[in-house]
Structure 1
Amino acid sequence: MTSRTFSAIAAVGLLFTVPAAAADSLVTADWLQKNIDNPKVRIFEVSVDAGIYERGHIPGATNIRWHSDLVDPVRRDIASKESLQKLLQEAGIDEDTTVVLYGDNNNWFAAWGAWVFDVYGLDVKLLDGGRKYWEAQNLPLDSRVPTYTATSLTLKDADTSIRARFQDVVNVAASAAPGTQLVDIRSPKEYSGEIVAPEGFKELAVRAGHIPGAKNFPWAKAVKEDGTFKSKDDLQKAFAEIGIDGSKPIITYCRIGERSSHTWFALTKILGYDVKNYDGSWTEYGNAVGVPVTNLAGTVWQGK
């Protein structure tokens, strides 16, 4: 069905409540399948690959285009409070709605969406395993685009406590903020400076390498083969191996801030650590003048 106002359901008294299992920041595919028709639940797909939503999505899911819906179209910034609020109102979100995000690439950009939502005070859930896991379980997909009755949701003002800025990481690199740890979640070749970005990606920097003092933790190490997050104990152990134990504030970064949102989610929502995401990431820092860079590969200029 294309309209999911559920007035008929409410009229016969079959009102839903959100089960306690959704109190955590992750929901299982089983939980989501049981709550697809729950009027207190709204689902959003935030995928990387263009057209994947149109080919089939979780029934009732609204599409979010990360490169237009979650960013400012004029400034390099996250979506404004007003634009995000309008999107959520049109999707029928109320203050008591449980919002679930999922996407392809092990929830790569779904985690970015969760971070942006969190900036504006909306605590959302991720479908553990994302689209990959849902499809692997042969769970239903739908090509129909849902419509909802608009709400008057009001978002909070942006919370800057979970967002790192350029000067914040410069201070860490210059040892002016010795109590903060940096986690670079890019691939080892990006971290070492052997390459500036993965093959095929257009967002580049003039310089290669990493921010001095940053620890490397490739983002995909946080998930299992099926795309679901590793257990809390396994995540805690994996981060502790690189000296990240939650005893100090943490800043995560990548190339444009999306992969680092995935690690921000693991560290914040699963482990409970104090973490900021630096969405300027390497395309800002690696193009800046007068800041230190650690380049283990020794590359200086990769242009012609």
Structure 2
Amino acid sequence: MSVLSFIRRGAAVLAASLALGGAALAQTGPLVSTEWLEKNLSDPKVRIVEVSVEPGIYERGHIPGAQNIAWHTDLVETVSRNIAGPEKFQALARKLGVDKDVTVVLYGDNNNWFAAWGAWVFDIYGLRDNVKLLDGGRKKWELEKRPVATNPVPVKASSFTVGEPNNALRARLTDVVASVEKKSDARILDIRSPDEFSGKIIAPAGFQELALRAGHIPGSVNVPWARAVNQADGTLKSPEELKKLYAEVGIDGSKPVITSCRIGERSSHTWFILSRVLGYQAANYDGSWTEYGNVVGLPISNPAGTVWGGK
């Protein structure tokens, strides 16, 4: 290759890279820091999306330029218990100005529980490498007293076209039963609290129970989701710490993993860690305990001896 050809090729690569946005080039991992995001608030190729659970929290103050998603209406089908269908998701993505050449930063309250759920749904519909989580979410942004806004900023709609859903990222009841019956080598990782896992309680305090029985899926192992988070600021622990944490219960990436919790939100947080941060093969079971624990005829494990929620 001549020097002139080399220069021309380099210029073409640079031009194509610039078309993707400088921010997208600068941040290739699955997480972005609060420092990075504040520096890139005005980048037209960065789209910030809040996915929180507390009502009204977005309206009281959000990261400047952030769009808002209500997980229980925007990311699900409200009549059937299902994630948003292709048409609904495509309409949402377009409304948010999201596309494959835009860096999408998701964040939320509860240390990014539902922001991770959003990342999971985005990934199912073909938005993966350009979708990031804000490390620490709202908690870290607010702790550092970074700027907030109260007025939504309109964005230009995109022309995003949804592709075939990647169903490998979603575990169904049949996948879980196959693991229980040892017809599959997938490991089930339950990320609920120890009391939920043992069957001492069915749901955390203040939450609807939604299941008749207490306990866990036979053969599953337990690593509460919060153990993966630095409690001071909500950021994730280092990859080395995370690998060690999950390896303690035999989750090391050598076998597929199914993450499970109560309704699939906390487990999506662990799914994000396993899949996006550690690169393990993982699927989120959004049916989780509210499905498995209510199915007639399926075995459960209940070390606390409270099968029906009370002795």
Q: Which residue of 2 aligns with 1:170?
A: 177
Whether contact under 8 Å (1:203, 1:256) holds in the other structure is no
Kindly state the Cα deviation for residue 300 of structure 1 after the two structures are TM-superposed: 2.0
Equivalent position amino acid for 1:182 in 2: I
Q: Does 1:222 find its partner at 2:228?
A: yes
Whether contact under 8 Å (2:215, 2:307) holds in the other structure is no
Whether contact under 8 Å (2:96, 2:155) holds in the other structure is yes
Kindly state the Cα deviation for residue 302 of structure 1 after the two structures are TM-superposed: 2.9
Kindly state the Cα deviation for residue 74 of structure 1 after the two structures are TM-superposed: 1.3
Q: Which residue of 2 aligns with 1:11?
A: none
Q: Which residue of 1 aligns with 2:11?
A: none
- 1:2-43 per-residue CA deviation (whole Å, 9 max, x = no partner) reads xxxxxxxxxxxxx95225342110000011001111000100
Equivalent position amino acid for 2:88 in 1: S
Equivalent position amino acid for 2:175 in 1: D
Whether contact under 8 Å (2:24, 2:103) holds in the other structure is no
| Partners of 1:21 and 1:295 in 2: CA distance | 48
Moved more, 63-72 or 18-27: 18-27
Whether contact under 8 Å (2:52, 2:109) holds in the other structure is yes
Q: Which residue of 2 aligns with 1:264?
A: 271
Q: Which residue of 2 aligns with 1:107?
A: 112
List alignment gaps of at least 5 residues for structure 2: 1-19
Of 219, 222, 240, which residue of structure 2 is paired with 1:233?
Answer: 240
| Aligned counterparts, 1:174-213, within 5 A | 174-177=181-184, 179-213=185-219
Q: Which residue of 2 aligns with 1:289?
A: 296
| Partners of 1:34 and 1:302 in 2: CA distance | 50
Q: Which residue of 1 aligns with 2:94?
A: 89
Kindly state the Cα deviation for residue 303 of structure 1 after the two structures are TM-superposed: 7.4
For the residue of structure 2 that corresponds to 1:23, the secondary structure is coil
Cα 1:223–1:280 change in 2 (3 A) is same
- 1:120-177 per-residue CA deviation (whole Å, 9 max, x = no partner) reads 0111100000000000111000001111122211011211011000011011112221
Whether contact under 8 Å (1:164, 1:279) holds in the other structure is yes
Identity %: 61
Q: Which residue of 1 aligns with 2:153?
A: 146
| Partners of 1:143 and 1:92 in 2: CA distance | 20
Equivalent position amino acid for 1:167 in 2: T
Cα 1:69–1:54 change in 2 (3 A) is same
Name the count of aligned residue pairs: 290
Whether contact under 8 Å (1:21, 1:27) holds in the other structure is no
TM-score by length of 1: 0.93
For the residue of structure 1 that corresponds to 2:82, the secondary structure is coil
| Partners of 1:190 and 1:167 in 2: CA distance | 23
Cα 1:224–1:197 change in 2 (3 A) is same
For the residue of structure 2 that corresponds to 1:68, the secondary structure is helix
For the residue of structure 2 that corresponds to 1:300, the secondary structure is coil
Q: Which residue of 2 aligns with 1:7?
A: none
Moved more, 145-154 or 230-239: 145-154
| Partners of 1:20 and 1:40 in 2: CA distance | 11
| Partners of 1:80 and 1:19 in 2: CA distance | 27
Q: Does 1:42 find its partner at 2:47?
A: yes
Q: Which residue of 2 aligns with 1:6?
A: none
Aligned CA-pair RMSD: 1.6
Q: Which residue of 1 aligns with 2:6?
A: none
Q: Which residue of 2 aligns with 1:71?
A: 76
Of 69, 76, 85, which residue of structure 2 is paired with 1:80?
Answer: 85
Kindly state the Cα deviation for residue 236 of structure 1 after the two structures are TM-superposed: 0.4
Equivalent position amino acid for 1:42 in 2: R
